[in-house]
């Protein structure tokens, strides 16, 4: 296992096939476990978060076998009691499966790690309690029991899209019809569309009204196709695409669905706005990005929070002041990503000012290099690798193994890009 890693400075170029979307695999695994028949899911790249979802579904009664690039899922048949669900640091796993466990009338405990016990869920827990679940926190353990009930679910629009996705996957299992009503259009709405895509693929009926209401009939059963594959991950592709924006020769990333519902597909438009050269080849599922003069800009992060660390690094390559706005939720991730992104840039000789809900980056077109702490955050570690492309001196990334949370092969793929 890598701990610290030394990166040479300067541009990188090459061709990378990106692993499967973590967000898509989470959803497809859950839909498969809630179905009628066995499902074979083809995917590339088993991350810690996906392993956590698989382990929790097993604890709930699914039979899951992982062999090379295939996950086989036999669905849950009976309700379980005293289940131990090891969700690790995966907020997606916990937030998706908590209401699902209630819909299945399961009882047990989610075991949390890292910063996950500190991340807020009070609104979610109160909503589920109002609808029949008993939820109790004790340190890093979250105990649950009780049967989730049908009804109307009023949800604030400024909370994680994962709450909406968890409800959308749980409510079709209930005996009666339900409705989700958001106070306003939810943040990170593209992630909700990914859930809707998975539901539609599973044959689940629902009706959406104006991006703030969902009507979900009860007494439904999921029915995914028996064999399917997960598309490439735009969130992880963004790191290599941003490397391409700092490279004369460029970087080509393959395995991407150019019409995907993934919100982080927005990286393409953002790179064009930065001034990079972007070539799209939908027939080949590839994107190639090359360096051009980058311009500073204002980035609204409300719909693309996961891109903020790497976009902030890219802002260092644009001479002038750039701003990241509407990014307050990043303080509640694996690290406080506004603070750790600013510290990353400063540690490598750049200048970034932390704001309550964003960052101000004063780009000079280059960075010095030095020691970059990952803060045990996979997106900070991978952003440090992109920052090395701007550096005049080498970069040491400490705690580099944290990329295993989402992209275990990242350092190997990075090494395939030549200097």
Express each pLDDT in 383-392 by its tens digit.
Answer: 999 999 999 9
Average pLDDT over residues 320-335: 94
As annotated, the active-site residues are: 306
CA–CA separation, 387 and 312 (whole Å):
10
- For residue 333, give the nearest of 273, 406, 269, 261 by alpha carbon: 406
Q: Which helix (H) or strand (E) holds 311?
A: helix 308-316
Q: Is the pLDDT of residue 87 over 60?
A: yes
CA–CA separation, 307 and 322 (whole Å):
15
Q: CB-side exposure of 177: number of CA atoms within 13 Å?
A: 8
Residues 6+ apart with CB under 8 A from 150: 131, 171, 174, 175, 176, 177, 178, 218
Average pLDDT over residues 33-59: 96
Q: Is the pLDDT of residue 234 over 70?
A: yes
With tokens 């438009």, the residue in question is 269
**Portion of the chain with pLDDT greater than 90, in percent:** 93
Q: Record the tokens describing residue 252, joined without a space.
A: 């080509």
CA–CA separation, 289 and 387 (whole Å):
16
* CATH 3.65.10.10 is right for the domain spanning 5-19+232-416: yes
Average pLDDT over residues 251-269: 96
Structural contact between residues 150 and 177, judged by C-beta atoms closer than 8 angstroms: yes
- Eight-state DSSP code of residue 318: S
Q: Which SS3 state, helix, strand or coil, does residue 132 take?
A: coil
Q: Is the pLDDT of residue 200 over 50?
A: yes
Average pLDDT over residues 333-344: 96
Average pLDDT over residues 49-68: 96
Instruction: Compute the chain's Rg from CA coordinates.
Output: 21
Q: Which SS3 state, helix, strand or coil, does residue 280 take?
A: strand
The pLDDT confidence band at residue 186, using thresholds 50, 70 and 90, is confident
Q: Give residue 157's pLDDT.
A: 73
With tokens 């360096």, the residue in question is 291
Q: Which SS3 state, helix, strand or coil, does residue 173 take?
A: helix
Fold of 22-229: UDP-n-acetylglucosamine1-carboxyvinyl-transferase; Chain (3.65.10)
Supply the pTM of this predicted model. Answer: 0.93
**Angle, to 10 degrees, between the axis of helix 308-316 and the axis of helix 378-388?**
20
CB atoms within 10 A of CB 57: 24
CA–CA separation, 206 and 167 (whole Å):
12
Structural contact between residues 405 and 378, judged by C-beta atoms closer than 8 angstroms: yes
Q: CB-side exposure of 120: number of CA atoms within 13 Å?
A: 9
What residues does CATH 3.65.10.10 cover in the chain?
A: 5-19+232-416, 22-229
- For residue 165, give the nearest of 182, 150, 142 by alpha carbon: 182
- Eight-state DSSP code of residue 21: P
Average pLDDT over residues 324-334: 93
pLDDT in tens, 116-171: 999 889 999 999 999 999 999 999 999 999 999 999 999 987 788 899 999 999 99
The pLDDT confidence band at residue 2, using thresholds 50, 70 and 90, is low
- Eight-state DSSP code of residue 180: E
Q: CB-side exposure of 56: number of CA atoms within 13 Å?
A: 33
CA–CA separation, 356 and 415 (whole Å):
36
What is the rounded (10 degree) CA torsion for 307, 313, 317, 318? 60
Average pLDDT score over the chain: 96
Q: Is the pLDDT of residue 49 over 90?
A: yes
CA–CA separation, 360 and 354 (whole Å):
7
Q: Give residue 1's pLDDT.
A: 43
Q: Give residue 68's pLDDT.
A: 84
The pLDDT confidence band at residue 401, using thresholds 50, 70 and 90, is very high
């Amino acid at each position: 296992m890598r701990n610290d890693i030394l990166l040479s400075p300067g541009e990188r170029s090459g061709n990378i096939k990106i692993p499967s979307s973590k967000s898509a695999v989470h959803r497809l695994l859950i839909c498969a476990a809630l179905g009628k028949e066995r499902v074979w899911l083809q995917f590339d790249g088993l991350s810690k978060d996906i392993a956590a979802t698989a382990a929790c579904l097993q604890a709930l009664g699914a039979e899951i076998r992982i062999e090379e690039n295939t996950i086989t899922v036999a669905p849950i048949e009976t309700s379980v009691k005293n289940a131990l669900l090891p969700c690790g640091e995966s907020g997606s796993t916990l937030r998706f499966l908590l209401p699902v466990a209630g819909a299945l009338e399961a009882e047990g405990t989610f075991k949390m790690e890292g910063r996950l016990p500190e991340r807020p869920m009070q609104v979610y827990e109160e909503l589920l309690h109002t609808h029949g679940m008993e939820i109790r926190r004790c340190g890093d353990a979250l105990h649950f029991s009780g049967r989730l009930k049908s009804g109307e679910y009023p949800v604030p629009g400024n909370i994680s899209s994962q709450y909406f996705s968890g409800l959308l996957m749980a409510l079709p299992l209930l005996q009666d019809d339900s409705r989700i009503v958001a106070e306003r259009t939810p943040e990170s709405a593209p992630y909700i569309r990914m859930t809707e895509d998975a539901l539609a693929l599973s044959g689940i009926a629902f009706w959406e009204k104006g991006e703030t209401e969902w009507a979900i009939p009860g007494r439904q059963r999921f029915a995914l196709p028996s064999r399917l594959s997960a598309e490439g991950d735009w969130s992880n592709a963004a790191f290599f695409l941003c490397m391409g924006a700092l490279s004369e020769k460029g970087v080509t990333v393959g395995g991407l669905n150019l019409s995907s519902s993934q919100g982080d597909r927005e990286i393409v438009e953002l790179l064009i706005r930065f001034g990079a050269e972007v070539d799209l080849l939908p027939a080949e599922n590839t994107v190639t990005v090359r360096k051009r003069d980058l311009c500073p800009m204002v980035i609204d992060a409300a719909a693309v929070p996961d891109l903020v660390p790497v976009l902030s690094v890219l802002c260092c390559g644009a001479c002038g002041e750039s701003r990241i706005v509407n990014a307050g939720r990043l303080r509640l991730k694996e690290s406080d990503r506004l603070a750790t992104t600013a510290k990353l840039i400063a540690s490598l000789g750049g200048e970034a000012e932390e704001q309550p809900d964003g960052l101000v980056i004063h780009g000079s077109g280059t960075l010095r290099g030095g020691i970059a702490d990952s803060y045990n955050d996979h997106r900070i570690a991978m952003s440090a690798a992109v920052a090395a492309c701007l550096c005049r001196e080498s970069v040491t990334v400490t705690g580099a193994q944290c990329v295993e949370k989402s992209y275990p092969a990242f350092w190997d793929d990075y090494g395939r890009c030549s200097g």
